[in-house]
Amino acid sequence: MNLKSDDARWGSAAKFFHWSVVILLLVQATVGLVMVQLPKRPSVIAWFSFHKSLGLTILLLALLRLAWRAFDRHPLPPPGMPRWQALGAKAGHVLLYGLLFAVPLTGWLFDSASSLRPLFWWDLIKMPSLTGGANADLKPIAQTLHLWLFLALAAVAAGHAAVALVHHFFQRDDVLRRMLPGRRRLSTPNQESSP
C-alpha cells in the first residue's frame, strides 16, 4: 500500500481523504436538509448536535487533507490532455476546497451568532464561539450563506463527478481509475514512477 501519491496514481492517504469526505458529505447534507423540516421538539436537538459535530469533523478532515497535500505529490494530467483542461481541473479543485471550508465555517458562524447553547464536538471538546456571543445581525446572513454555499458545493461536486465519469467512460483514461480504492491496473502503466 503506497501512502503517498506518485506521477501516475493517488496514494492511499489522498484516496482515504477524498472518499471519506464524499461519504460524510452525503450523510451530512441529508441530515441537514431533513432536520430543518422536523417539527421543533426537544428530540430534534440531538439531530442538530449530530449535524454540528459531523460538520466539524468534515472541517477537520479538510484541514488534514490540505496539510497532507502540501507534502504529497499530484499525479500528472493524463497524456494529451489540453492545457486549458488541466487548468480547468485545477480551478475546479481549488473551488471545491474553498467550499469544503466555507460551508462548515458558515454553519459554525450561524451557531455562534445564534448562541443557543454551547457547541460541543461529539460531547468531547467545547468549541469556541466565532462571534463572542449572540449576534442578531450576523445570524440571518450566516444562515443564508450556509444554505447557498452548500448548494454551490453540491452543484460544483456534481459537475466534478460528471467530468470524472466522462473521463472514465468516454475518454477512457485513468483519471477515475487512479482515484478509486485499491491498486487498479492503469491503461498507461509506463507512466508509473518507481516507488
Q: Is residue 179 within 8 Å of 15, Cβ to Cβ?
A: yes
- Provide the mask over 8-37, with x wherever binding to ligand HEM is found by CB under 6 A and - wherever it is not: ----------x--xx--x--xx--xx--x-
Q: Which of 138, 136, 119 is nearest to 128 (CA)?
A: 119
- Residue span binding ligand HEM (CB under 6 A) among the ranges 39-47, 52-60, 128-136, 182-190: 52-60
> All 3 cell numbers of residue 99?
467550499
Nearer to ligand HEM, 37 or 194 (CB): 37
Encoded amino acid at 172, one letter: R
Query: Is residue 113 a contact residue for ligand HEM (CB under 6 A)?
Result: no
130 binding ligand HEM? (CB under 6 A) = no
Exposed/middle/buried for residue 169 (C-beta within 10 Å: 0-12, 13-18, 19+): exposed
Q: Does 67 bind ligand HEM (CB under 6 A)?
A: no
Residues 74-103 touching ligand HEM, rule: CB under 6 A, are 74-75, 89, 93, 96-97, 100, 103
Cβ proximity of 129 and 112 under 8 Å: yes
Positions that interact with ligand HEM (CB under 6 A)? 18, 21-22, 25, 28-29, 32-33, 36, 48, 51-52, 55-56, 58, 69, 74-75, 89, 93, 96-97, 100, 103-104, 107-108, 110-111, 119, 143, 146-147, 150, 157, 160-161, 164-165, 175-176, 179
